Amino acid sequence: MKFLLKNLNVYYDRAFQKADILIVDGIVAAMGSGLLVGGDAAVFDFHGAHALPGLADPHVHLREPGFACKETIRTGTLAAARGGYTAVCSMPNLKPVPDSLEALNVQLDIIRRDAAVAVRPYGAITKGERGAELADLEAMAPYAAGFSDDGRGVQSEELMRAAMEKARDLGKPIVAHAEDESLLKKGWAVHDGTYARAHGLVGNVSESEWRQVERDLELVRETGCAYHVCHVSTKETVGLVRLAKFEGLDVTCETAPHYLTLTDADLRDSGAYRMNPPIRSAEDRDALIEGICDGTVDMIATDHAPHAKEEKSGGLAGSLNGIVGLECAFPVLYTKLVLGRVTSLERLIELMSAAPARRFGLPGGSIELGGAANIAVFDLNREFAIDPAEFASLGRATPFEGWKVRGRCLMTISGGKIAWRNDNA
């Protein structure tokens, strides 16, 4: 298979250059101006659009096996492709929970059959994600991006220490949903409490996140484990991670688009604003922005978490936690952060592509001659309104509905194959 992408601004060797890209049998065979091919090649002229390394998301919920009414591996990875993602890591809160090789193979079989982009699953830290006994980490290690009990924090310090020691020996990161459950009912879901009280919301104070990160970092000091913090939402966590990096610990972290672009003042009585951790204060948002600018926050993940319509129809108080984001993350962040002069496009590419690919061994992260083609083509000038009715995902709940943004994905090439093409490109 051979195809030519013409008239692009290609992000290559950390800079943009005008070039065409020739892809032959899944490999970037040539780059340069005015490339020509024979009649057997498909040619796509993008008229000055931007070719970026395929985006990589280290935190998505594909819901299959076990919850196909919410999402399937097919629909979730098509959503990823529509958003410019060529690789994702799938979280383990599934049925069966991937806590053994046998259980993980159920998911791997579906991935091999149905995935539109590359998927690397996480294995669970504990059996059934119940926090009582270690999962079979050794058997899953060759196939897992790392180990996580996402959706629940590991409450036992002794068990987390044992998990870190085992993960260290296996060369895999612990990917932590940091949440101290003993603190969940001691405060309101937002800092000033006004909106939360009006809608009957309690729980999940900032301390429930950063206290467990603080505990885990002490364990990292003891064990030397590679450690990654999921969906950072508080200024205190940013400060803890910054100090840990200064010490030289093997620590990375992610935040999400909604924590960078929204605050508790933006909350509405809608399930589209219900997630865990919750949207927090302007001070927290500003600390996260500082973190992505100074390198404390390594990457941006969507925490794409689809639910059935009825599960998100109970307002803030009565809906399940989780929103979708794969199909709108890049345009939201490009519009708010790059066009808003918060950070550069080059830094956004690092946060959404190179850093997660590097940390979790995902394909992509750069466009290289002779390398596998993992490329996302965006028209950065095209403005559109985010409409969940257009999503490939089965989930529709997003706080970004109706936002006018720029940066429409025109084509996504994953592993040298066209995973998505905008028919209006």
Give the HSE-up count for residue 228: Cα atoms under 13 Å, Cβ half-sphere: 28
Question: What does the pLDDT look like over 242-282, one tens digit per residue?
Answer: 999 999 999 999 999 999 999 998 999 999 999 999 999 99
Question: What does the pLDDT look like over 141-174, one tens digit per residue?
Answer: 999 999 999 999 999 999 999 999 999 999 999 9
pLDDT computed for residue 183 by the predictor: 85
pLDDT computed for residue 202 by the predictor: 53
Q: What is the mean pLDDT of residues 360-377?
A: 96
**Res 59 pLDDT > 60:** yes
Distance between CA 211 and CA 230 in Å, rounded?
A: 14
Mean residue pLDDT of the chain comes to 94
In the chain, where the domains are located: 2-51+371-421, 58-360
Report the residue count for the chain: 425
Q: What is the mean pLDDT of residues 286-291?
A: 98
Establish whether 303 is a catalytic residue: yes
Structure tokens at 42: 């498909």
Q: What is the mean pLDDT of residues 184-212?
A: 63
pLDDT computed for residue 134 by the predictor: 98
Domain 2-51+371-421, second-level architecture: Roll (2.30)
Q: Tokens 């298979």 identify what position?
A: 1
Contact assessment for residue 127 and residue 133, using Cβ atoms and an 8 Å cutoff: yes
CATH number for 58-360: choose from 3.30.479.30, 3.20.20.140, 1.10.3720.10, 3.30.420.40: 3.20.20.140
Look at residue 42 and give its three-state secondary structure. Answer: strand
Question: Of the candidates 328, 332, 270, which has an alpha carbon nearest to the alpha carbon of residue 304?
Answer: 328
Tell me if the pTM is above 0.75. Answer: yes
Question: What percentage of the chain's residues is helix, strand, coil (to nearest 5)?
Answer: 35, 25, 40
| DSSP 8-state symbol, 181 | G
Q: What is the mean pLDDT of residues 177-197?
A: 64
Distance between CA 233 and CA 196 in Å, rounded?
A: 17
Question: Of the candidates 153, 269, 280, 172, which has an alpha carbon nearest to the alpha carbon of residue 223?
Answer: 172
Q: What is the mean pLDDT of residues 323-344?
A: 98
**Res 198 pLDDT > 60:** no
**Res 200 pLDDT > 70:** no
Q: Please return the burial class of 389, using the count of CB atoms within 10 Å of its CB with bins 0-12, 13-18 and 19+.
A: exposed
Percent of the chain with pLDDT over 90: 90
pLDDT computed for residue 67 by the predictor: 98
Strands, E assignment, 123-179: 174-176
Q: Which of 109, 303, 379, 387 is an active site residue?
A: 303
